[in-house]
Chain A
Amino acid sequence: MTAFLALVGLSARLSFGGRSGGALVGLVFFLAVVVVVPFAVGPDMNLLSRIGPAVLWIGALLASLLVLDRLFGDDRSDGALDLLRLSDLPLELVALAKGLGAWLATGLPLAVAAPFLGLLLGLSPNTVLSTTATLVVGTPALTMIGTIGAALMAALGRGGVMIAVLVLPFTIPVLIFGVSAAAAPAMAPAPFLAPFLILIALTLASLVIAPIAAAAALRAGLD
């Protein structure tokens, strides 16, 4: 357990202040995406507040993909991945700890920033609340799905935009249920709880499946 927590801490620390853009860059990127949309859509407040939850979710999705590049790539190139494997902690738990740490440093700040950005989009208080709740619950799934892509690309010795291209299609279910729960208060008869529970299920499933897949990818790339 000490080993696991130590690795979560290290991963959070490296993601937070990483060289290729840490948590702050992710937040600024999130802000930029959200701010750009009104310019593209035009100053129609009704339209903006209707698409607001979707805009916040897309911003969070893109921002959480930013940090994946170096998640395992750095460990592989500086030799730390070898050392991480020389312990009793299974590689699956190594992947889980890396993912959780990355989420703490990048996903969680996005969810915390969402209410403020929601104001920019003219969201109603209820929608701000539902959007924030779905982001808190849903961003771990985005990061964990991302760890699979990060591990695969690290195993192949590649990185960069390839990871985003690889990961984006697999985040679509999370996006669908996240946005439908987040937008529920604005679409009066639409249910909030059902998509929200499915979102929670997706996150829990990704917490189990993603580490196994990421560890398999890392093992396959051993040399």
Chain B
Amino acid sequence: MTTPDDRAPAAGDHAGYGPGRDHVRLTGTGLAAVRGLRTIFSDLSFAVAGGELMTVTGPNGTGKSTFLRIVAGLMPAAAGEVAVAPAREDGHAALIHYIGHHDGHKASLTVRQNLDFWRRFWGGGPIAPALERVGIAALDNLPIDVLSAGQKRRAALARMLVAPRPIWLLDEPLTALDAAAEAMLGDLLSEHLAGGGLALVATHRALPVAAARTLRMEGP
């Protein structure tokens, strides 16, 4: 199954979305979110093109995470819609990488087993270079449960490199990351953008990459 490939994966490899090809484009129009009876945000519109980074900022509780989950299609919007161009028949779920508050790792499996499952489930490239890239290659045979929060977060980043996708939705990706990992994430983002991908990042801290756009959430 694994094709031998010693080349470190660049975050910008997405078949069909590279430079000079059709650039991916993500738009949302008139989005609104309601939790219980409370409107979290309403009439929110944005457009991000391939190669652009949009940061989502704002105080706690203004709906940054909810916004990203709606964009990912993991939560229905109370109003408005999200569109991805070029449109795909099967919907855009398979174009999106999402990193939320939970890393999505299976605690009883090793780092390698976790990544290997996602490689087979999503279809993707070799695991070893991705682990090398995020700096946890030496930990690949440890149960993922014994890793620190920052190392688990690095493993989640490696998952994005194993199966390249053009849209990254990152919810507070800097949480638990040390300075070196923060710089590494900056590099990954730059490569991803240079390869024609786009990213939406909800964050309270400054990212190491310049954002083309900023969406400021102020609450309803």
Tally A residues with Cβ within 8 Å of B: 27
Task: Kindly list chain A residues whose C-beta atoms are within 8 Å of the C-beta of B159.
Answer: 83
Question: Would you call A3 an interface residue if the criterion is a C-beta within 8 Å of the partner chain's C-beta atoms?
Answer: yes
A-B pair count, CB < 8 Å, reads 77
Query: Which segment of B3-11, B94-102, B190-198, B208-216 sits at the interface?
Result: B94-102
Contact pattern, A 137-156, Cβ under 8 Å of B = 1, otherwise 0: 00000000000000000000
B102 & A19 in contact (Cβ 8 Å cutoff): no
B106 & A86 in contact (Cβ 8 Å cutoff): no
Kindly state the separation between the CA atoms of A8 and B100 in the bound complex, as whole angstroms. Answer: 25
Within 8 A of B (CB), among A1-18: 2-3, 5-7, 9-10, 13-14, 17-18
A87 & B122 in contact (Cβ 8 Å cutoff): yes
B102 & A79 in contact (Cβ 8 Å cutoff): yes
- Name the prevailing secondary structure of the B interface residues: loop
Question: Would you call B204 an interface residue if the criterion is a C-beta within 8 Å of the partner chain's C-beta atoms?
Answer: no
Question: Would you call A44 an interface residue if the criterion is a C-beta within 8 Å of the partner chain's C-beta atoms?
Answer: no
B94 & A2 in contact (Cβ 8 Å cutoff): no
Within 8 A of B (CB), among A180-223: 222-223
A82 & B106 in contact (Cβ 8 Å cutoff): no
A18 & B108 in contact (Cβ 8 Å cutoff): yes
- Given A2, A10, A85, A223, which contacts B106 in the complex, CB threshold below 8 Å? A10
Chain B, interface residues (CB within 8 Å), range: 20 to 34
Within 8 A of A (CB), among B7-40: 35
- Given A18, A82, A84, which contacts B100 in the complex, CB threshold below 8 Å? A82
B107 & A78 in contact (Cβ 8 Å cutoff): yes
Question: Would you call A176 an interface residue if the criterion is a C-beta within 8 Å of the partner chain's C-beta atoms?
Answer: no
A78 & B100 in contact (Cβ 8 Å cutoff): no
Contact pattern, A 53-93, Cβ under 8 Å of B = 1, otherwise 0: 00000000000000000000010011110111111110000
- Given A14, A74, A78, A85, which contacts B93 in the complex, CB threshold below 8 Å? A85
A83 & B108 in contact (Cβ 8 Å cutoff): no
Task: Kindly list chain A residues whose C-beta atoms are within 8 Å of the C-beta of B108.
Answer: 14, 17-19
Kindly state the separation between the CA atoms of A10 and B74 in the bound complex, as whole angstroms. Answer: 22
Please name the residue on chain B nearest to A97 by beta carbon: B121
B123 & A86 in contact (Cβ 8 Å cutoff): no
Task: Kindly list chain A residues whose C-beta atoms are within 8 Å of the C-beta of B72.
Answer: 82, 86
Task: Kindly list chain B residues whose C-beta atoms are within 8 Å of the C-beta of A19.
Answer: 107-108
Kindly state the separation between the CA atoms of A18 and B108 in the bound complex, as whole angstroms. Answer: 8
- Given B76, B91, B102, B104, which contacts A222 in the complex, CB threshold below 8 Å? B76
Using CB atoms and an 8 Å cutoff, list the residues of chain B in contact with chain A.
35, 69, 72-76, 90-91, 93-94, 96-98, 100-109, 117-118, 120-123, 159
Using CB atoms and an 8 Å cutoff, list the residues of chain A in contact with chain B.
2-3, 5-7, 9-10, 13-14, 17-19, 74, 77-80, 82-89, 222-223
Interchain residue pairs A-B with the least CB separation, the first 8: A79-B102, A6-B120, A79-B104, A80-B104, A88-B94, A83-B104, A6-B121, A3-B121
